[in-house]
Amino acid sequence: MAIRVNPTFIDDLNRYGAEDVQLCYQCGDCSTVCPHADDMYIFPRKSMRFLQMGLEQKIETTLEPWLCYYCGQCSIQCPREADPGETMMSLRRWLISKYDFTGIARKFFKSRLTEVLTIITVAVITAVFLLFYGFSGGNLTIYDGKGAFLPSTFIHRFDLTIGGVLLIFLLTNAIHMWYLVMIKGTDFPVPWWIYIKQLYQLPWHFFTQKRYSECEKKQEHPVFMPWLIHLGLMFGYVTMLVLVMVFIEQLQAGPEIRWQVHIFGYLATIGLLTGTFYFIRNRIRKNYVQYKKSHGTDWVFVILLFYIVLTGILQHVFHRTGLNVAANITYVIHLMGVVPWLLRMPFSKWSHLIYRPLAMYFAEIRREAAARQASIIQTVPVLIK
């Protein structure tokens, strides 16, 4: 397959955060120190090379950016200060925008203004819609039950609609990713049974994030800190998503606390709060290599999440203490953050939640298929006339 070279690719990637790729002189120090590089997937040097050569078509089919968890060792070691770690991060951003067929992600990554304006617009539309709905049928002084300002059945339906939209985008993007990686980027046959055999990779990597913890062995972090906190954040997030999507009616009932549901909510809140606090603090302090450069979308990500968690807590407190008016108002404010956040998910950094485990899954499939192919080639003698 002929590969077209895109000479402006490297300039294009500048907007995603990779500024110093051109400095790289291909010494291979980064691949050497990378805890995840192995014979099948050698990075970051190779990705840097592809970038320098403008091999856009090659990079869009690679999995290497997803295999990197940005421990920053490569950027520390780099003799040219070309920042391979940040380049891999930028490639992940670029890949997200590549998998997204709508082109919205590309706009968001390239212009912070567009992103912020879109979020504000969606937030305002949400507020107008909710207030209109609330005042047309409900009473601001009632939080739950009959005549409620925002009844839980309505919120449930509202959630499920947004969740459906979200799922459609995520699934199509995931299929696009599968097409790019496994069809376009794999030049050897992959039998279907390997897909099934390796299926356990998906939940395994989703729930343990084992590779992230492997990343830290060489780090000077306090023991397993980012991994543990990231894991807490992820579990908190997923729990919250399930609670909101499925158990919203039980959650919203009150004012007494139903421990069988709420205990999960509290645990999830702790995970979310520590996570967002930790990552915001690191990004401000710039204390480790991976937090030295923050792309605009990184800030939007953590700040919006922090906002949602904070308003959610406030709303919960108001409701449980019987301040129904305040609870209803904070509910609207809370949803003003949640709706843009959820709608933004497939187009933002958030989507790594699904791409990462998928990438590990594909990577293992590819590895096994390649090994099978190699053994076939070895065992079948080639006749040369």
Partner 1 sequence: MRTGIFFCQVQDNMNLNIDAIAKYSANLPDVETVQILRLKPLPTIDFICGQIRSNRLERIVLAGDMPGYFKPVFTKAAALTGANTDEIRLASFQEHGTKGENAMDRAKAIVACAVLGIPFPLAAVPGGNPVNHATLIIGGGIAGIQSALEIANAGKQVYLIEQTGTIGGHMAMFDKTFPTLDCAACILTPKMVSVGQHEMIRLLTRSNVVAVSGKPGAYRVKIRQKARFVDVKSCVACNICAEVCPVKVKSEFDAGISLRKAIYIPFPQAVPNAYLVDETSCTYILSEGQKCGACMKKCPKECINLNEKDKIIDIEVGNIILATGYEFLDVGKIEQYGYGVYPNVLTSIEFERLTNASGTTGGRIVTKTKVTDKKTGKEQWIFSPEGMPPKSVALIHCVGSRNKKYNPYCSRVCCMYSLKFAHLLKEKVPNVNVYEFYIDMRAFGKGYEEFAERIKQEGTFVVRGHSASVAMKNGQMVVRGEDIFNDRLVEFDVDMVVLAVGLIPSQGTEEISRLLGVQRDSDGWFSELDYNGSPTDTDKGGIYVAGMCQAPKDIPDTVAQASAVAAGVLRSLTSGKGIGHMSSLSLSEIESRAKKIHTI
Nearest to 361 by CA among 185, 193, 194, 188: 194
Of 24 and 244, CB closest to partner 1 = 24
Distance, in Å, from the CA atom of 66 to the CA atom of 364, rounded to the nearest integer, reads 13
22 binds partner 1 (CB under 8 A): no
The neighbouring-strand residues paired with 148 are 139
Q: Does the footprint of partner 1 cover residue 28 (CB under 8 A)?
A: yes
* 79-98 residues near partner 1, rule: CB under 8 A: 79-81
d(CA 182, CA 205): 19
Name the segment binding partner 1 (CB under 8 A); options: 23-31, 162-170, 278-286, 318-326.
Answer: 23-31
Cα–Cα distance, 132 to 5 (Å, whole number)? 53
Between 84 and 265, CB nearer to partner 1: 84
Tell me the closest approach of the beta carbon of residue 33 to partner 1, in angstroms.
Answer: 5
* Among the residue ranges 74-82, 114-122, 182-190, 220-228, the one whose residues contact partner 1 (CB under 8 A): 74-82
Stretch that binds partner 1, among 19-27, 53-61, 85-93, 112-120 (CB under 8 A): 19-27
For the chain, the distance separating the N- and C-terminal CA atoms, rounded to the nearest angstrom, is 27
Number of H helices, E strands in the chain: 19, 0
**Omega prior to 340 cis, within 30 of 0:** no
**360 - beta bridge partners?**
none
Using rule CB under 8 A, residue 241 touches partner 1: no
**219 near partner 1 (CB under 8 A):** no
Question: Minimum CB separation from partner 1 for residue 252, in Å?
Answer: 54
DSSP 253-288: S-SS--HHHHHHHHHHHHHHHHHHHHHHHHHHHT-S
Of 266, 274, 283, 263, residue with least CA distance to 228: 274
Which residues, other chains included, contact 300 with Cβ-Cβ below 8 Å and sequence gap of 6+? 112, 115, 116, 119, 348
Closer residue to partner 1 (CB): 31 or 173? 31
Taking CB under 8 A as the criterion, the residue among 10, 27, 267, 323 binding partner 1 is 27
Instruction: Pick the binder of partner 1 from 38, 125, 263, 270 (CB under 8 A).
Output: 38
Q: Which stretch binds partner 1 (CB under 8 A): 72-80, 83-91, 335-343, 354-362?
A: 72-80
Determine, following the binding rule CB under 8 A, whether residue 11 of this chain makes contact with partner 1.
no
Q: How many other C-beta atoms are found inside a 10 Å radius of the C-beta of residue 269?
A: 18
Q: Which is nearer to partner 1, 76 or 142 (CB)?
A: 76
CB of 189 to partner 1, least distance (A): 21
* Min CB(73)–partner 1 separation in Å: 9
Applying CB under 8 A, does 29 fall inside the site for partner 1?
yes
Q: Contacting partner 1 (CB under 8 A), which of 39, 187, 220, 256? A: 39
DSSP string, 106-120: HHHHH-HHHHHHHHH
Q: What DSSP character marks residue 152?
A: H
| Residue (25 or 207) nearer to partner 1, CB | 25
Interface with partner 1 includes 37 (CB under 8 A)? Answer: yes
- What is the contact surface with partner 1 in residues (CB under 8 A)? 25-33, 37-39, 42, 45-46, 77, 79-81
